[in-house]
Each structure stands twice: as structure tokens, then as C-alpha cells.
Structure 1
Amino acid sequence: MAVIAVAGGSNGLGLTIVEALRARGKHEIIILSRKDNPELEKRLETRFVAVNYKDVESMQFVLEANDVDTVICTINSSTDLEPERNLIRAADRSCITRRIIPSIFAGFPYPIKYPDSNVVAKSKSEMIKEVQKTSLEYTVFYNGIFLDYYGSPHFKSHVPAWPMFVDISHESAAIPGSGNELIVFTHSSDIAEFTVRSLDLLEWPKESYVIGEKLSWNEFVKLAEDAKGSKFNIVYDSEADLKAGRVSQLPSYSEMYTASPGVEAGILLAGEWFAKAELDLKPTHALNDDFPEIKPMRVKRFLELSWKGH
């Protein structure tokens, strides 16, 4: 039984991974956190360990004192790279820690292909370079777009909704490109399960792909319409429009812009990538091949659970 440390395991994808680790029941788990969280620690029945992300030496001590074999990091921040960078360095210095999964979990290898495209790509690119400099075994996850982005409060997810291009609650869509380009949609629970199962592999590839389900935006919207029982208002933004900085606005965007400045530029860039079919992942090997018994959530089922009758 190996000790797995999850950094950022108190929310979002990190919390989903912790829950999947507990369900698997094969490893001892600790959650690395800036502060104690007795309530969540009790609910998860998982030990929290406070760390100082500014101090590499103290984190090295924490990893060694807790016999941490593998670190799973989900704390990547595009504005503050110090915590993850220092954690990677501490893991590399630890005489016990062997493996690390950095906080990439990207739609496709844009941190490698387009490292200077925006601040998110640049930050993820920097973390990939950081792990490449270490002696640690590592793997970088690519998983398409999070299906959770198109959920509702009626279907539990620790990953918040972020409805780019399809605003189901307002029955509207602004589709990039023709709408026929294929996209990988993967639910966070499946990403978490494949992440946990990958711990069983004797050797990790440098890149780990998770394929949920491939659909086009046109197919996705049709399934959303069926789940809602209504027709959506649909417009299309060509690749030329997006490159020129023109993106059709959806009702949900105003709230997204307020919550996170710079989102409009991110939506424009993502639209160009979708229009170029960048998220039609075609890896030579995916974790689905290693673990065929894992059946990822289907988009239709997800949309029905999220929106049917609501």
C-alpha cells in the first residue's frame, strides 16, 4: 500500500481524485493543504497535512515523514506558480517520493503546442518543464473538455459549471467553426478514476490520455435540446470571426466575465482551437486501452441527469 499525497485535494478535481482513491481502497491518502480542515478531514476520513508552499525544505520533510510515494498535484495557478514549482522540487529532493502527476489536466497538449498563447498555457508549460528537470517519474494528463462545465446544480460535481459556447440554462449556443468538428468530452469522475488506476501501472508514459466520448458541438446541442425538451437559439462563429476578435455573446458570459477577468480572450482562443478540431484527440495509446473495464460517462446520460425536468 503506497502513500499518495494529493495537493489541492479539498476541492475541484483534487477532491474528486481523493474520493476516487478512497473508493479504490488500495492506497493510504493524505491531502496537502495550506491549513487544516477538521470538518472535511472527518467527512472524507482522510488526513490533512498542512504545508508551507513557500518552503521547499519543509515540504521535503513532510513528504519524507509521511512516506509519500506519489504526489498528485491539482493546485496549478496561472498567476502564482511558486506553490507547484516548490512542491515539484520538494518531491524531487525527497529520498522516498518516486512519482508525480503535475497539475496539467488539459484539453489537449496546448501547453506544448501553443505555450505562449495565453497565461494558462504558459503556466502549464512551465510546470511541464519543471518536472522534466527532475529525476521523478511523471505523466501529464490530457482529457478533452470537462463535461462538468455543462452541468447543473441538480447533478453533483466538484468542478464548477463553465458553459463556453453552449449555455444550456438559457437554451442558447454560439458554436465555433462549423459545429461538426469532433471534441472529447470527459467527466471529472472519469478523469479521477483513470488517474487513480494509472497508479497501478508499472511504468508511466510521459503523456496520459483519457477519452470520455467524442461528439461534435452540433451533436452535443441536439442532446442538450432533447434533455431540456426545447429548441435552442443557435449561432455560429467562423474561425475567421474568432481570429478577428468577434465572438457571439451568450447570457452566461456576463457572469463569467465578472468572475474571471480576461475570460473573453480565453473564449476567443478556445473557439479557434475548437474550430481547428484540436480537441479531437487521436493518441496512439490512451488509458482507456489499459483499463477497458472503466466505462466513461456518456454525454447523453450526463445531460439527462443534469437537465431533464429542470
Structure 2
Amino acid sequence: MKSQRIAVAGGTGGIGQHVVDGLLEVKEKYSLHIIVLSRSASADLSFAGSSAPVIAVDYSDSTSIEKVLRENQIDTVLSTLSSHDPETFMTIQSNLLTAALNVPSVHRFSPSEYTHDSEALAESIPFLSTKVAIYEPLRKVKAERGSSFEFTSFQTGAFMNYFALGNPKPDGAKALGHLAPFPFVLDLKNRKADIPGDGQRRMVFTAAEDAGKFIAAVTQLDKWEERSIMKSDWLTFNEIVDMAKDLVGPIDVQYNTLEDITARIGGSPPSMANLYLFIYQAIIKGDYEQKRPFNVNDSVDVKPISMKEFLTKWWA
């Protein structure tokens, strides 16, 4: 039950565009039909000599989405939707799923995950609770439809691209790829590290470009597992700092206890501005511990970039 006709919702920027890039890279190889759903129409997206049309839909109206999915005989819907407003995000992703389930040709759906495991992190990171809501209806549909319907959550860990933020090279801005800037732990431009805990916990990191390639490869698997877990590398912050020192010189390292982070949050409610601090808390408490195997790495032929290779590329 491989994917052939794929719709990427929210694929005009962020991790969504990396997913589109990954699909376009193998479009000819697998004879894929790819469309990108967006709130507004724009020029086709092109990558690696292939392109995909961007089609405007109204995410507040599931029938608008359903019409496009039907017209294109889509069999796989990949959600990369995002919104700073929790209610908006849950509503538009729910509408996307409703539309997909009403189209007979759709047999695969992937919710917008692209983190460690939102179900494991939701208690520590309230913002991620918005991602959890979709899993109950997905599991219900899976139970009802059996082998005729599959879903998977793509779990990437943290994007290593953020460690190149502020890169001074002429093409340094390209290090982020399509991702928006997100200051996280390392500020190598200013040779600083703001580390949660003692820096000894291992973390999963994936380059956004690798994530796109991994996800494209997973669409060509005959069977999907409920979780698709991938990595470019898996190491501690202390190991990363040691690598970075060899490239940029001495780094001012600040270690933070759970009490330190709690004090920095203060009475502020969760928001995008302090999201990283809630992530720090979860890391210190061990919520980011990788307990499941990297089933994507074990199942597809993608050679990811290592952290050392990534840092060397942008900071050497």
C-alpha cells in the first residue's frame, strides 16, 4: 500500500517545505503525483528538477479541502500544519482529517508531529498538547477500517539546523533551510551555550533536509507503523559543545538546574517566546529520553548527516 498521490498540507514553508523537497527529489523515480495545500495560491514549488502545484484551500471548511483531495485522487495526506494559536491548529488539522476520511482514495494520513513524541511531552510542554488531540480519532478510524487505513507520526527529535543560527558565512542563512529561527541551547556566533541540566542526557537530532528524505522514503514502504522515528544523530549536549569548541574556540557554557529554568519561566504562561524553556524542563526531567528504536533508519536507505559533519559544514 505504497503512496503514489500525495498531498502535503502546509508545505510552503518550515518543515513542510523540506517534506515537499524530499518528495520532489524522488518524484520521477517513483512516478509520484504531489500537490501542496496552502491557505493561499502561489507559484509551483520546485526542487531537484521536479515541481508540485500549490493549491489554495480553506482550512476552516473541510469541504474545501475534500474537493481538492477528490479531484487529485489523493491516497496519502501529510499534515505539516502549524499555528501559534492552539485552538486554530487543532481545528484546521481536525478539518484536514475529516476531509481526508471522506475521500475514498485516501488510505494514509500523517498528523503534524515533527518533534520527539508529543504524547510523552504534552504534560511538560503544554503547547504540544495541541498535537495530541488528533491521535484519538486516528486510532478510532484505524480500529474501524483495519488494514485499509494507516497513519504514522513522524518523530524527528530536535532539528540540528538551529545550531547554525547566526552563521556569518555568505550563505549562512541557508543553514536553517526553510525553518524559522529558533534560538536553542547553542549560540555559536557568540560562543555561548545555555544547557538544560548537566548536559549528559542523550538527545535525538535530525537535519530538516534529512527529515524530508526520510519521510519521502517512508511513503514508499508497504506498511506504516504508528510511529516513524528517525535521527541524523543521537548524542549529548556536552559532546556537541566539545565538537563546536574545535571549530569556533572557547565557549561560555551555562548549566541550568530544573529550579533555574522554573525561575526563568516565572509566572509567564506558555507561549512561543518561552517554549524553549519548557523544552529545557522536559529535557532535564528525562522526557526526551529515546525509548523506542529508530525504525525509519532501520527501514529506508537514507544516509543522514552527522552532527559533526553539520557543524563543520557551517562553522569550520
| TM-score, structure 2 as length reference | 0.85
Using the TM superposition, give the Cα deviation of residue 267 of structure 1 relative to its aligned residue in structure 2, in angstroms: 2.5
DSSP-derived class of the 1:289 partner: helix
C-alpha distance in structure 2 between counterparts of 1:125 and 1:4, whole Å: 23
1:9-44 CA deviation, whole Å, 9 max, x = no partner? 111111111111111122111111122112647996
C-alpha distance in structure 1 between counterparts of 2:196 and 2:125, whole Å: 19
Using the TM superposition, give the Cα deviation of residue 276 of structure 1 relative to its aligned residue in structure 2, in angstroms: 3.1
Letter in 2 for 1:215: L
DSSP-derived class of the 2:141 partner: coil
C-alpha distance in structure 2 between counterparts of 1:262 and 1:48, whole Å: 30
C-alpha distance in structure 2 between counterparts of 1:285 and 1:190, whole Å: 14
DSSP-derived class of the 1:45 partner: strand
Between 294-303 and 43-52, report the one with greater CA deviation.
Answer: 43-52
Residues 118 and 206 (structure 1 numbering): CA distance in 2 closer, same or farther, change over 3 Å?
same
CA contact (8 A) 1:208 1:286 kept: yes
Letter in 1 for 2:15: L
CA contact (8 A) 1:29 1:46 kept: yes
CA contact (8 A) 1:213 1:298 kept: yes
Using the TM superposition, give the Cα deviation of residue 76 of structure 1 relative to its aligned residue in structure 2, in angstroms: 2.8
Which residue of the partner structure matches residue 145 of structure 1?
Answer: 158
Aligned residues: 291
DSSP-derived class of the 1:84 partner: helix
Aligned mate of 1:73, from 76, 79, 100: 79
Using the TM superposition, give the Cα deviation of residue 285 of structure 1 relative to its aligned residue in structure 2, in angstroms: 4.8
1:287 matched to 2:289? The reply is no
1:266-300 CA deviation, whole Å, 9 max, x = no partner? 23221122223433423135211112x32211111
1:223-267 CA deviation, whole Å, 9 max, x = no partner? 122222x1011111113333x4247xxxxxxxxx9xxx8345423
1:154-201 CA deviation, whole Å, 9 max, x = no partner? 144111332212111111112111111111111011111111111111
CA contact (8 A) 1:41 1:48 kept: no
- CA root-mean-square deviation: 2.3
CA contact (8 A) 1:148 1:161 kept: no
DSSP-derived class of the 1:234 partner: strand
C-alpha distance in structure 1 between counterparts of 2:156 and 2:207, whole Å: 9
DSSP-derived class of the 2:200 partner: coil
Alignment gaps of 5+ in structure 1: 248-256
Letter in 1 for 2:159: F
Which residue of the partner structure matches residue 315 of structure 2?
Answer: 307
Which residue of the partner structure matches residue 60 of structure 1?
Answer: 66
| TM-score, structure 1 as length reference | 0.86
Letter in 1 for 2:183: P
1:176 matched to 2:196? The reply is yes
Which residue of the partner structure matches residue 32 of structure 1?
Answer: 37
Alignment gaps of 5+ in structure 2: 143-148
C-alpha distance in structure 2 between counterparts of 1:22 and 1:294, whole Å: 15
CA contact (8 A) 1:78 1:119 kept: no
Q: Percent identity?
A: 28
